[in-house]
Amino acid sequence: MAVRGSIEVGVPARVAYERLCRVEEYPRFHRGVRRVTAVSETDLRWECDNGAFTARVTDRQPDHFLRWRALDGPRRSETVVVQALPSGRCRITVETTGPRPDLALLKEYVEAGAGPRRPHGNERPVRAARSNWPDARLPHHEHVANERPAVAADRNPGPPPADTDLWHRPHNALFKDET
């Protein structure tokens, strides 16, 4: 059975999303989670009080939402939606059939940050112009240095295709059953 909860936080949606992508920090606000490790860009290894499982990030839209589901073990999934609000705030809505986040601890973590900024395994810049990494480190990353030069279309891609425009869908369309 899925559990859904929401909380308002005092940071912009972009900041909240970036902090939620740091899966190694999930034990700070998920009950019963000992460790989460990024095995690849899409696969996560969860070690919980009642066992371990591997999950795959099945869908994500930067600054808006993240969805994963378990590949092995009990049927578990989680969808996290970050909705921008006025005055640099946002609302985080979590629907999960897996380990439940403590929303008060989640709020504290997102608003306070995770201490000094350091990159994690699942945070890899796609382009230097859209990187969350400190600028001084970018020239040293081979995968960024070998990319084609940015063109005007990269800087202004226009609106997303209609099928990816999440905020014009009914709210329940975001929380679909992952079978």
For domain 1-119, give the fold: Alpha-D-Glucose-1,6-Bisphosphate; Chain A, domain 4 (3.30.530)
Q: Where in the chain is CATH 3.30.530.20?
A: 1-119
- 142-175 pLDDT, tens digit per residue, is 444 444 444 544 454 555 554 544 444 444 455 5
Average pLDDT over residues 94-100: 89
Averaged pLDDT, 88-97:
94
The helix/strand/coil state of 64 is coil
Length of the chain as a residue count: 179
Mean of pLDDT values over 51-61 = 93
Residue 70 pLDDT: 94
Spatial strand order of the sheet with 3-9 comes to 3-9, 89-96, 77-85, 65-70, 51-61, 43-48, 33-38
The chain-wide mean pLDDT, for the chain, equals 75
Q: Which helix (H) or strand (E) holds 66?
A: strand 65-70
- The answer to whether the CB of 4 falls within 8 A of the CB of 175 is yes
